[in-house]
Structure 1
Amino acid sequence: MEHLIEQALPWLHMAFGPDPDWKQAFLTLLTPLFLGATGVEYLYLKRHGKSFFFRKNEVITNMLLGGSYQAMEMVWFALFVNAFMHWMYGFRFQTITVTPLNFLGLFLGLEFCYYWFHRASHRIRWFWCAHVVHHSGENMTTTTAMRQSLFYAVNLHQVFWAPMLLIGFPVWAVLLAYGINLGYQYFVHTQAVTRFSPWIEYLFNTPSHHRVHHGRNPQYIDKNYGGVLIIWDRLFGTFEPEVEPVEYGIVRQPKTDNIWTLNTHEWKDMFSDVLKPGTSWLRLKHIWAPPEWIRPGLQEQSNLRDKPVA
């Protein structure tokens, strides 16, 4: 595998610089495939009288969020992420030479780390502040996968990949495995596919499982965190099958297509809660408590998640 990477390096360096973010490079190279899949999805849904799933304003918003996310990821990588991940890699227990077989091991290990990163992104408000952007769409098409936050790179979520770096996998390999993980997930954001065979549905994250993940139906909230595999959800009790129709979006739904508001509203609310009077411990708890946590003594927060964002 390293031999193949070495052959591709001159071209990648020309396109992405001398020390590229392999995650973003991989996703950028796949962009034509992503757009092609979205075109096929639209034509399929149109043929079956369901093209209304493609809501014009939301699709445009998704694409703007995706483009700004890609650009900002590259900037943050150059300014901070690359150095931070190499700093963590400096504490490795050994140095692993990447081969196809141990890259598979890396991919499975990173998928396990991704499950906990994704779960934390729903259950710890600091991480939810970035992830909420992805869930704020009120529909599901492959363009929903583009709906990402400007602030992912700076919320320190890279600590979830630390186990792979400490084991000894190089930064480029961890980023590439993460990119493959995210690339797969583009294709599970769709209503064009119902279900696959039972064994696929049992092992893998599928469109059916991921529709549940995007639902704000009470039984669907905070379920199905897997990226490529769904086995971690089955193992740790967070699996929920798709039964009733999914209502997409979040409980406190932003009523806007403004991409700056979509990126910042939860950060603004979290820091507003932190600054409200009270003991330091309870004020700071807003940062690591679940998003729906209500601080004792602040009655005005009781309906916080039910109020729409202007």
Structure 2
Amino acid sequence: MKPIDIVTYAVPAFVLLVIAEMLWAARRAPEKYEPRDTLTSLTLGLGSTIAGALTAGVVLAAAMWLYEHRLTTMPNVWWAWIACFVLDDFNYYWAHRTGHRVRWFWASHVNHHTSQHYNLSTALRQTWTGFFALSFTFRIWPAFIGFHPAMLITVGGANLVYQFWIHTEAVGRLPRWFEAVFNTPSHHRVHHATNPLYLDRNYAGALIIWDRLFGTFQRERYDISIRYGVVKQLGSFNLLHAAFHEWRSMFGDVWRAPWRHKLAYLLGPPGWSHNGSRECSEAIRARWLARHQNDPTNH
């Protein structure tokens, strides 16, 4: 079985959609695109593609090793493909959630959130260090229960393609039945926001049902003006700074921390500090909710 390279096939559509959104923004909302920011996003996307190509062989070999020791064999039939997609999306949810809750994985994922603009080019702002962070381990384990690695690669590509179109402000809320099941631009705008109510919410890939099931869903509110980026904004369009700043900051914290706290700076939540000098996003959100606990629109 050979994987289907869905992402490569989708690239022309990505380009056309970005151009279409740029034209829309030029007429309706020119502030939605900033040339230096867009260039940083596109260059990070190119670097991520190169990094992925350089490490794909190792990831595939690891998945094949698991498949060779599989517990059973999933057949190449339609229902197995659906099951594989749903399971991969479930795994994506937990990989993504961990990428926000554990600093080691956040160091790899954070560059996707560093843009203070939210447009289709932001979808291309991807990590260069996912392999180093071992993020791929969340997605390949189903090979051990019998899903062929080619199936995992194909549905993973489909998931990635799906997530491209939700990085936009040009699309408002969609029909309720669709927003109840699928991730949408409205749901994902919440995920990219730095407003306290929105922090660490809506980790979904394609299916928002995981956030609803595991208590991380937050509906977009039209009475809140969304601020994008990260809690401590990057403040630079420097490409290398965007790609590696959190790794440098994290290892600096580990170096300076007392021995009993060093591991916590790797495995604790982003923003955590042993002396309380900083605050993680969950604490910021909890403090905001405590101040607004009588507001019925919070949830």
The alpha-carbon deviation at position 134 of structure 1 amounts to 0.1
Give, in whole Å, the separation in 1 of the partners of 2:59 and 2:235.
Answer: 32
Instruction: Pick one of 91, 97, 105 that aligns with 1:119.
Output: 97
Instruction: Pick one of 54, 57, 61 that aligns with 2:33.
Output: 54
Give, in whole Å, the separation in 2 of the partners of 1:88 and 1:266.
Answer: 32
TM-score, normalization by structure 2: 0.88
Q: Is the 8 A contact 2:183 2:208 kept in 1?
A: yes
Q: Structure 2: give runs of 5+ residues left out of the alignment.
A: 282-299
Q: Which residue of the partner structure matches residue 18 of structure 1?
A: none
Q: Is the 8 A contact 1:98 1:169 kept in 2?
A: no
Query: 1:38-92 CA deviation, whole Å, 9 max, x = no partner?
Result: 1222223334x213211111111111111111011101113x3222222333332
Q: Which residue of the partner structure matches residue 80 of structure 2?
A: 102
Query: 1:155-207 CA deviation, whole Å, 9 max, x = no partner?
Result: 11122124421221011110111110010000000000011111111111000
Give, in whole Å, the separation in 1 of the partners of 2:138 and 2:44.
Answer: 24
The alpha-carbon deviation at position 277 of structure 1 amounts to 4.3
Q: Which residue of the partner structure matches residue 128 of structure 2?
A: 150
TM-score, normalization by structure 1: 0.85
Instruction: Pick one of 193, 197, 200 that aligns with 1:215.
Output: 193
Give, in whole Å, the separation in 2 of the partners of 1:231 and 1:190.
Answer: 21
The residue type paired with residue 278 of structure 2 is S
Is 1:272 aligned to residue 252 of structure 2? yes
Q: Which residue of the partner structure matches residue 55 of structure 2?
A: 76
Aligned positions, number: 279
Q: Is the 8 A contact 2:140 2:152 kept in 1?
A: no
Q: Which residue of the partner structure matches residue 231 of structure 2?
A: 251
* Structure 2 residue matching 1:92: 3-state secondary structure: coil
Q: Which residue of the partner structure matches residue 35 of structure 1?
A: 15
Give, in whole Å, the separation in 2 of the partners of 1:74 and 1:262.
Answer: 21
Q: Which residue of the partner structure matches residue 261 of structure 1?
A: 241
Q: Is the 8 A contact 1:76 1:154 kept in 2?
A: no
Give, in whole Å, the separation in 1 of the partners of 2:22 and 2:181.
Answer: 27
Give, in whole Å, the separation in 2 of the partners of 1:90 and 1:100.
Answer: 22
Give, in whole Å, the separation in 2 of the partners of 1:26 and 1:199.
Answer: 27
Instruction: Pick one of 182, 185, 190 that aligns with 1:204.
Output: 182
Deviates further, 249-258 or 157-166: 157-166
Runs of 4+ in 1 over 4 A off after TM superposition: none
Identity %: 35
* Structure 2 residue matching 1:154: 3-state secondary structure: helix
Q: Which residue of the partner structure matches residue 302 of structure 1?
A: 278
The residue type paired with residue 261 of structure 2 is L
Give, in whole Å, the separation in 2 of the partners of 1:238 and 1:304.
Answer: 16
Deviates further, 210-219 or 253-262: 253-262
Give, in whole Å, the separation in 1 of the partners of 2:141 and 2:50.
Answer: 27
Give, in whole Å, the separation in 1 of the partners of 2:257 and 2:212.
Answer: 41
Give, in whole Å, the separation in 2 of the partners of 1:170 and 1:158.
Answer: 16
Give, in whole Å, the separation in 2 of the partners of 1:186 and 1:247.
Answer: 20
* Structure 2 residue matching 1:153: 3-state secondary structure: helix
Q: Which residue of the partner structure matches residue 9 of structure 1?
A: none
- CA distance 1:90–1:277, change in 2 (3 Å): same
The residue type paired with residue 302 of structure 1 is R
Q: Is the 8 A contact 1:191 1:207 kept in 2?
A: yes
* Structure 2 residue matching 1:194: 3-state secondary structure: coil
Query: 1:15-57 CA deviation, whole Å, 9 max, x = no partner?
Result: xxxxxxx58x32122110111111222223334x213211111
C-alpha RMSD of the superposition: 1.8
Q: Is the 8 A contact 1:85 1:158 kept in 2?
A: no
Is 1:169 aligned to residue 147 of structure 2? yes
Give, in whole Å, the separation in 2 of the partners of 1:288 and 1:87.
Answer: 28
Query: 1:93-142 CA deviation, whole Å, 9 max, x = no partner?
Result: 11223222210110011111111011000001111001100000001000
